[in-house]
């Protein structure tokens, strides 16, 4: 009876992705300004979540983030919180950083995920972002 921990409600779901912080230590002012210009911009999509997808829940939703050569390692969920590590081989798939910590919260009607990672590249001022 009822929903298992992590199950979601089926129906129309809106997803919004936005960058909340981006820093390039040691970057010239014009590069820093371009990075700041990306903050606050968001991309929104909508999709209908079927009963089966909703029953698969937040674990399935986090698995859907695995683009290209990325996988979600050590995923844990319980009591409305979740965490894991997104590990990408090579260039980091579509996300940029090869390893990113994922934390989040969930209820049957809302999922919030935060990904945080560091990019290291000799081409970047200071070698990282």
**pTM for the predicted model, two decimal places:** 0.77
Neighbours of 128 (CB within 10 A): 15
Closest residue by Cα to residue 3 from 109, 113, 75, 112:
109
Residue 91 has pLDDT above 70, yes or no: no
Closest residue by Cα to residue 111 from 73, 79, 78, 82:
82
Average pLDDT, the chain: 85
Over residues 32-77, the pLDDT tens digits come to 787 778 787 889 999 999 999 999 999 888 777 766 788 888 999 9
Q: How many CA atoms lie within 13 A of 35 on its CB side?
A: 16
Residue 102 has pLDDT above 70, yes or no: yes
Strand 99-106: give its sheet, edge to edge: 70-78, 81-88, 99-106, 111-117
Query: Is the torsion defined by CA of 17, 18, 24, 30 positive or negative?
Result: positive
Alpha-carbon gap, residue 21 to 36, rounded angstroms? 8
Neighbours of 83 (CB within 10 A): 16
């Amino acid at each position: 009876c009822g929903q298992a921990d992590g199950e979601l409600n089926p129906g129309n779901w809106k997803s919004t992705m936005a960058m909340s912080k981006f820093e390039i230590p040691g970057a010239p002012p014009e590069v820093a300004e371009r990075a700041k210009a990306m903050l606050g911009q968001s991309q929104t999509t909508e999709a209908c979540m079927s009963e089966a997808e909703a029953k698969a829940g937040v674990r399935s939703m986090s698995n859907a983030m695995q683009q290209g050569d990325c996988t979600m390692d050590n995923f844990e969920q319980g009591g409305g919180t979740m965490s894991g590590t997104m590990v990408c081989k090579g260039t980091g798939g579509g996300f940029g950083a090869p390893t990113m910590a994922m934390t989040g919260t969930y209820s049957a009607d809302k999922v919030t995920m935060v990904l945080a990672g560091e990019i290291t590249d000799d081409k970047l001022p200071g070698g990282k972002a």
